[in-house]
Structure 1
Amino acid sequence: MTKETSFPRQYSRTLRYTLGAPRSFTVSPDGARVAFLRSRSGTDRANLLWVLDTATGRERAAADPAELLGGGGEDLSPAERARRERTREGSAGIVGYAVDADAALAAFALSGRLFTAPLAHGAGEAGGGGAREILVTGPVLDPRPSPDGRHIAYATTRGDLRVVTSDGETDRALAEPDADGVTWGQAEFVAQEEMDRGRGFWWAPEGGRLLAARVDDTPVQRWWIADPAHPAAAPAEVAYPAAGTPNAEVSLAVLGLDGSRTDVTWDRARYPYLARVHWSAGGPPLLLVQARDQRSQLVLALDPDTGATRTLHVDEDPVWLDLFPGVPAWTPDGRLVRIADEGGARVLAVGDRVLTGAALHVRAVLDVGPDDVLVTASAGEGAADPELGEVHVLRVGPAGAVRVSGRPGHHSAVRSGDVTVLSSAALDRPGSRVRVLRGAEPVAEIASYAETPVIGTGVRLVAAGKRRIPCAVLLPDGYDRDRDGLLPVLMDPYGGPHGQRVVAARNAHLTSQWFADQGFAVVVADGRGTPGHSPAWEKAIAFDMAGVTLDDQVEAVQALAEEFPLDLGRVAIRGWSYGGYLAALAVLRRPDVFHAAVAGAPVTDWRLYDTHYTERYLGHPDERPEVYDAHALAADAAELSRPLMLVHGLADDNVVAAHTLRFSSALLEAGRPHTVLPLSGVTHMTPQEQVAENLLLLQVDFLRRSLGL
């Protein structure tokens, strides 16, 4: 097998080197154990649930799906497949679990069946680990133990929310749909896809009641996703809230194990989006609700006895308000924890104090302790050292911020008490290293079985142009400028909201390096709109995503040509999703700069994309139709003068195939030649091994031919 073909095969077979890597960590409050998921090898998709004893460093399997399912394959419901698509979950086995307050009992679903596993020291033996099935009325979605471990609540594919005792003796409904299209305990499409809220119910700290979402998606328009390769199969019905159309109606109720129900009230007409829910012993339940235009939001405190809410905090922004992981939350002594954009910086606020300044760009709250808050942050615009692409874990308290992650790289963490699980990636090594710290001292390391990539990277992170655009530049392995001269260029961006690509982690750049090794100088540019820089940087794209993001790709490549061996007469661009939109946009509107493009799953008409994302950046289409018209690619179809390949999964329910099909029709009507590669049975992800492998090879072949290489 040649080096050129071995990387695509390994990359696809290992799900981008994620298989075999530990993930989804939970630390017990006493610090005695860490639960996590990991498959047995770098090519095995089935995750097991593991437990690490922090005193000895010994790992044991608490639950093995192969044993629990008797060696049979998984049988996933359409609802579970949709949940996994929303989270871009491509692995198998145990893909998620939840624990009680002591992290002594775990609950999880396999093939719609409910299982539990004891996690405490001495429970079970290696292999099955004491895991067992609890027979319930399924199929089961998102099971979660009560804090005291006596009950397990779960949603079902039929729409009811149920609770079963941990011994399996009593299984009953807490809430059932009262109409077609109603579900209890599940998150609606835009919450899962755009708000990073995958949950639909939350246990009270005392374990006697739950806060549950009731979702009515009957107002949402129906789309139909068919599989043209199998015409005998009925199309799948999808409730898709496209920009400007009705959303699902979301409400809340407090459900008691005694059968009581208390409906929650807030101004749902003004604030229809339920973005965050937090219920801890630090105070009453917290709700974060947003206006549809996302320029105002409220943090509400809920009285669970009456269902009444009161406003704790109001946020307003003339552009939009972002959502952040881990907030709002309470400190143990009852102070409100927030992340906010203030004074041009993204800061951490606790109570009435702002604890960080312009030197840090706070990204997420990981844990709230009695003395500090654990966060991830990048260097802010006020930092003396920009630390390009780095994300660090810090403890922030009244006295300031102290780094938990020491080395340069891209870090994340999970903490409980004085035990922290720190995951660290860096440019000088593949994969991530996972260390368990007690205080500041390492006590264990969690093994990774992920495969080592067959290629390395020589990536350089640089800031380009007047705007200092973060860029990654990759040249072919063994490149010699005197011998090889200028190189054809491949721009390889995502380039839009939520998609930072220029990161200080080697595995993030492996595909770009492989393209470089085919004879390209590859440039990844994180222009305005991408995260991790500053609020102003992210919000510069308001109502002009197309113009701003494309301008920054042009500025980056032209500025980098002054330092790197870039042949500006041969520049191609490739991308997926927003990157696919950007790639098609580039050859349509700047053919003087870009000479070929591969556009994967592109959003070609923003009226066909979802409400929460699209209206945040472009406004409501009824109020700003000219903005949507300016961002539609079909209007520029007659301008195509460069080779363009469109790639789209026909089963995609996020960026539906209609985007590519309608744009292709417009190109055909304009008489503009182009290439379309439809992927039968493929969603917005491409987890299928052969598809992912051959997509890389086909793209290289198209780009080489298009640039005359």
Structure 2
Amino acid sequence: MSIRKAGALILFLLVGAVYAQQKQITLEEIYDGTFRMQYLDRLHSMNNGKEYAVLNTDRNTGTKTLDVYSYKTGDKVSTLINSGEIEGLDYFIGYTLSDDESKALLSTNLRSIYRRSSLGVYYVYDLDSKKLTKVADEAIQEPTFSPDASKVAYGLNNNLFVKDLKTGTTTQVTIDGAKNKIINGITDWVYEEEFAFVRAFDWNADGTKLAYIRFDETEVPEFSMDVFGKELYPSQDVFKYPKAGETNATVSLHIYDLEDQNTKEVDLSGFQNYYIPRLEWTPDADVLAVQTTNRKQNDVNLLFVDGASAKAKLILSDTDDAYVDITDNLTFLDENEFLWTSEKDGWNHIYHYDQDGKLINQVTKGPWEVTSYYGYDAKNKRVFYQSSENGSINRGVYSVKLNGSDKKALSADSGTNSANFSTDFTYYINSFSDASTPYVFTLHSAKDGKLIRKIKDNQALKDQFSEYVISEKEFFTLSINGEELNAYMIKPKDFDASKKYPVFMTQYSGPGSQSVANSWGGGNDYWFQMLAQDGYIIVCVDPRGTGLKGRDFKKMTQNELGKYEVEDQIAAAQALGQRPYIDADRIGIWGWSYGGFMASNCIFQGADTFKMAIAVAPVTSWRFYDTIYTERYMTTPQENASGYDENSPISHVDKLKGKYLLVHGSADDNVHVQNTMRLIEALVQANKQFDWAIYPDKNHGIYGGNTRLHLYTKMTNFIKDNL
């Protein structure tokens, strides 16, 4: 044996020995908290701009403390709240400080309603007097301090109430609230899910008025779900859910004057007013800003409403041939000048307008996307934002002058950077992660991005991971259907290019989404590492219609959800199958929700490409899904029947050849189990064999107790048996 060969053999044996000594990730570890991450929980910048508050939990005693730290030194300055020292309160879950930081709203006994909404028992805690006041005896929704912290407005039984903290009296603002009929100040199901907000009321700057949206759901069709529970007879949950093409709630805008206790309705008849997706008072106590849009959601109006007369004026109209995204980026400057984000030049950017809606200038520009807007420093006239200008799979933090000049890269290392700025924009806390680095929290100067100190780095988790068999996540692009699609691959740690491996493709593929991102992945990434340990190559491809590559790339799937994305996933699988180390006869695909819709379509329409597929909680026909989301991308079924039906998995069941697992939660209020049941019936009538599982009383997330462990064990076994 030559010396070179002997050396190579020794190296191989050493590598093999090290590999053998490393641990294998297990499903039990993924879901029992073994890989727990450290975060800064409920981070809040204090008004002085020098300190920040973080909610801490003592895991031994269960005590919650709201502790204040110095930005500059990191030292703890004080403890604002200690649940162990509050008489009459054993614990609290979350907090909200009043604008003047004199009081805190503490939440207890929270019970989830839908994705973002909850009912809870709330207390006001006076930080000076240490006095504790219960807001209401019942479980309430969205309690919110008035600007001077003298009152709290909240929702209860579909009505709005205001509690005066000085007198202890409670005033009922609305009286017509009724379940499945009228909602005042709290969004209905579809607004909550698709416009991403729950509190549909807002205080004006001096606390004299409340603006709120009223939802009349009377004509909205009802959806019912059986709740099996533990009793002899099941119960039923009935709620209003407008499916594509059906009737939505009729919305109206109102202003309540606390002094004279009168309510005025705002006349919106002269504007696009089918939806009211945002409302907020400007810094001027007499001017309410409201965003409205048409049913197609391709014409968004920004209105200014006079608080006294309740008369509305059109300030800005943002239009698009496809749709206009609703965001929370609207920011008011002096004299009600404002900043607004728009895709009107083909990429999402920041624009500066005067109080009459006249464009002053485009603040950011370039072939990249502003992904988060952080705020405006009025003293230095600088705008802070996050963008993809350091690469579409990365995120960097930047600042720029209001006039668009003097741009600075503050935190733009390859990976994902996200910032939380101090109130006066002196500092920011940056959270950084990449595909191999769990979250690192560092303090920086907002002036130039200079590192001041490290706060938390999750080094313990990184060290823990070094004991396991972990493979690198490799990023690359695939030339598919005229586009360069972002992708990543995870190979087995002992990958041998002379062998052939099965491929398990993961994807979501929904409009504007991104699955291929240079960030720490969490739960599913641990699962993918576990599958790589077992000899699978994991691949993810973001197809046409996903985000961060400009308006045209994202919106090309308009009216055809499931057409181009499916073409791209099938073509990507076929291209991967050409690689010498990939077994083209052993390619599988999976996805959840939109990803389940895609996985189903791929195994049906790509029957000769995919050997197996798993679909969890899939949409199987967009006719079954809600109005706001579906019509944004597809218009109505009445207008676009072919787009709905030709791209529905139900229309392609006769093509199934491979192994298919279909999973759903029976209490999924979002993507109803009806989707799966209708697909099951179609597969049965086509005499196609497949596997399926229903998780009783589980929602769209399919979790609780051992549910996730059971689900991922089932999916893992299905992969091993069929791929």
Taking structure 2 as the reference length, the TM-score comes to 0.85
Q: Is the 8 A contact 1:21 1:450 kept in 2?
A: no
Give the conservation status (yes or no) of the 8 Å contact 1:390–1:410: yes
Q: Do the aligned partners of residues 426 and 306 (structure 1) sit closer, same or farther apart at CA in structure 2, a change above 3 Å counting?
A: same
- For the residue of structure 2 that corresponds to 1:360, the secondary structure is coil
Check 1:451–1:67 CA distance in 2 against 1; reply closer, same or farther (3 A cut).
Answer: farther
Deviation sequence 1:460-507 (CA, Å, 0-9, x none)? 11111141111121112232334xx12100010011124311111123
Report what 2:281 is aligned to.
Answer: 279
AA of the residue aligned to 1:618: M
Structure 1 residues 16 and 312: alpha-carbon distance in aligned structure 2, compared to 1, 3 A threshold: farther
Q: Specify the alignment match of 2:170 in structure 1.
A: 171
Confirm or deny that 1:115 pairs with 2:115.
no
Match of 1:321, SS state, is coil
2:218 — aligned with what? 218
Contact 1:469–1:527 (8 Å) recurs in 2: yes
1:414 maps onto 2:439 in alignment: no
CA contact (8 A) 2:205 2:284 kept: no
* CA distance in structure 1 between the aligned counterparts of 2:62 and 2:553, rounded to whole angstroms: 38
Please say if residues 27 and 103 of structure 1, whose CA atoms lie closer than 8 Å, have aligned partners that are also in contact.
no
AA of the residue aligned to 2:424: G
Structure 2 gaps, min length 5: 1-20, 110-119, 354-358
Q: How does 1:192-211 map to 2 (within 5 A)?
A: 192-211=192-211
Residues 623 and 644 in structure 2, CA contact (< 8 A), matched pair in contact too: yes
What amino acid is aligned across from residue 365 of structure 1 in structure 2? Y
Quick check: 1:29 aligned with 2:39? Answer: no
Verify: 1:507 aligned to 2:526, yes or no. no
Per the alignment, residue 372 of structure 1 pairs with: 382
**Equivalent residues in 2 for 1:550-565, closer than 5 Å:** 550-560=566-576, 565=581
Corresponding residue of 2:437: 429
- Identical counterparts, % of pairs: 22
User: Quick one: distance in 2 between partners of 1:450 and 1:50?
Assistant: 23
Displacement of 1:5 in angstroms is 7.9
**Structure 1 match to 2:3:** none
- CA 1:37–1:576: 2 relative to 1, 3 Å: farther
CA contact (8 A) 1:604 1:659 kept: yes
- Shift of the alpha carbon at 1:571? 0.4
Give the drift of 1:102: 3.2
**1:356 alignment partner, SS class:** coil
1:393 to 397, 400, 418: 397
350 and 23 in structure 1: CA distance in 2 versus 1, 3 angstrom threshold? farther
Contact 2:442–2:452 at 8 Å: present in 1 too?
Answer: no
Q: Which residue of 1 aligns with 2:628?
A: 612
Q: Which aligned pairs between 1:257-272 and structure 2 lie closer than 5 A?
A: 257-258=258-259, 259-267=261-269, 270-272=272-274
Contact 1:423 1:435 in 2 (8 A): no
Q: Corresponding residue for 1:237?
A: 238
Maintained 8 Å contact 1:160/1:176? yes
Instruction: Supply the distance in 2 between the matched residues of 1:116 and 1:513 (Cα, whole angstroms).
Output: 46
Larger RCO: 1 or 2 (CA < 8 Å, sep 6+): 1
Taking the TM superposition and a 5 Å limit, the aligned residue runs for 1:85-164 are 94=93, 97-111=95-109, 112-117=120-125, 130=130, 132-156=132-156, 158-164=157-163
Given the alignment of the two structures, is residue 634 of structure 1 paired with residue 658 of structure 2, yes or no?
no
Q: Is structure 2 residue 363 aligned with structure 1 residue 359?
A: no
Residue 374 of structure 2: SS of its match in structure 1? strand
The corresponding residue for 1:573 is 589
Deviations, residues 283-311 of structure 1 (Å, cap 9, x unaligned): 83211111101121111111111111111
Match of 1:247, as an amino acid?
N
The answer as to whether partners of 1:426 and 1:432 remain within 8 angstroms in 2 is no
Helix, strand or coil: the match of 1:572?
strand
Give the Cα separation in 2 of the matches to 1:445 and 1:175.
50
C-alpha distance 705-48 of structure 1, shift in aligned 2 (>3 A): farther
Counterpart code for 2:39: A
Corresponding residue for 2:299? 296
Flag the 1:186–1:695 CA change in 2: closer, same or farther, 3 A: same
User: 1:132-152, CA deviations, whole angstroms, 9 ceiling, x for partnerless residues?
Assistant: 342424312111112222222
Please tell me the residue identity of whatever aligns with 1:577: S
| Gap change, CA 1:39 and 1:444, over 3 Å in 2 | farther
Kept in 1, the 8 Å contact 2:103–2:149? The answer is yes
Task: Please give the alpha-carbon distance, in whole angstroms, between the structure 1 residues aligned to 2:282 and 2:55.
Answer: 25
AA partner of residue 524 (structure 1): C
State the distance in 1 between where 2:317 and 2:596 align: 37
* CA deviation vs aligned residue, 1:210-230 (integer Å, no higher than 9, x gap): 212222222221111113464
Instruction: Tell me how far apart the structure 2 counterparts of residues 65 and 213 of structure 1 sit (CA, whole Å).
Output: 35
How big is the shift at 1:56? 4.7
1:679 — aligned with what? Answer: 695
Counterpart CA distance in 2 for 1:68 and 1:641 is: 63
Distance in structure 2 (CA, Å) of the matches to 1:449 and 1:104: 33
Distance 1:103 1:474, change over 3 A: farther
- In 2, the alpha carbon distance for the partners of 1:107 and 1:187 equals 21
Q: Deviations over 1:148-182 (max 9, x none)?
A: 222222212x1121222345723222223355522
Q: Which residue number in structure 2 is paired with residue 382 of structure 1? A: none
Cα contact 2:219–2:249 (8 A) shared by 1: yes
Instruction: Quote the Cα distance in structure 2 between the aligned partners of 1:517 and 1:207.
Output: 59
Bigger Rg, structure 1 or 2: 2
> Whole-Å Cα distance in 2 between the matches of residues 46 and 656 of structure 1?
39
Q: Residue 411 of structure 2: SS of its match in structure 1?
A: coil
Structure-2 change in CA distance of 1:674 and 1:101 (3 Å) = same
Distance 1:360 1:593 in 2: 34
The answer to whether the 8 A contact 1:107-1:152 is kept is: no
In structure 2, what is the Cα distance between the partners aligned to 1:49 and 1:55?
19
2:563 counterpart SS class: helix
CA distance in 2, matches of 1:677, 1:592: 25
For the pair 1:191 / 2:210, whether they are aligned, the reply is no
- Cα gap change, 1:521 to 1:226, in 2 (>3 Å): same
1:402 Cα deviation from its structure 2 partner: 2.0
The residue number in structure 2 matching 1:80 is: none
Equivalent residue pairs, number? 666
Aligned counterparts of 1:566 and 1:268: Cα–Cα separation in 2: 60
Q: Deviations over 1:582-606 (max 9, x none)?
A: 1111111011111100100000121
- Match of 2:18? none
Deviation of 1:390 after TM superposition, in Å, equals 0.7
- Larger deviation, residues 349-358 vs 592-601: 349-358
Taking the aligned partners of 1:9 and 1:570, their CA distance within structure 2 comes to 27
Is the Cα contact below 8 Å between 2:431 and 2:439 reproduced in 1?
A: no
- Over residues 398-441 of structure 1, what are the superposed CA-to-partner deviations in whole Å (9 max), with x where a residue is unaligned? 21432232322212223321232322222331234253656445
Distance 1:568 1:319, change over 3 A: same
Aligned amino acid, residue 273 of structure 2 = Y
Structure 1 pair 539–16 and aligned structure 2 pair: CA distance change class (3 A): farther
How far 1:336 moved relative to its partner? 2.2
Decide which of 335, 338, 341 is 2:337's aligned counterpart.
335
CA deviation after TM superposition for structure 1 residue 581, in Å: 0.7
Comparing 349-358 and 262-271, the one that deviates more? 262-271
Give distance in 1, aligned partners of 2:586 and 2:714.
19
Q: Which runs of 5+ in 1 are unaligned?
A: 74-92, 125-129, 380-384
User: How far apart are the structure 1 equivalents of 2:87 and 2:221?
Assistant: 38
Deviates most, 362-371 or 448-457: 448-457
Q: Shift in Å at residue 660 of structure 1? A: 0.7
SS of structure 2 residue aligned to 1:302: strand
Change (3 A) 1:135 1:354: closer
Give the letter for the 2:367 counterpart. Answer: A
- In terms of mean alpha carbon deviation, does 338-347 or 52-61 score higher? 52-61
Aligned to 2:543: 527
Contact 2:664–2:676 under 8 Å retained in 1: yes
Please say if residues 584 and 597 of structure 1, whose CA atoms lie closer than 8 Å, have aligned partners that are also in contact. Answer: yes
Matched residue of 2:653: which SS? helix
Q: Distance in 1 between matches of 2:619 and 2:213?
A: 30
C-alpha distance 275-530 of structure 1, shift in aligned 2 (>3 A): same
Any conservation in 2 of the 1:220–1:247 contact (CA below 8 Å)? yes
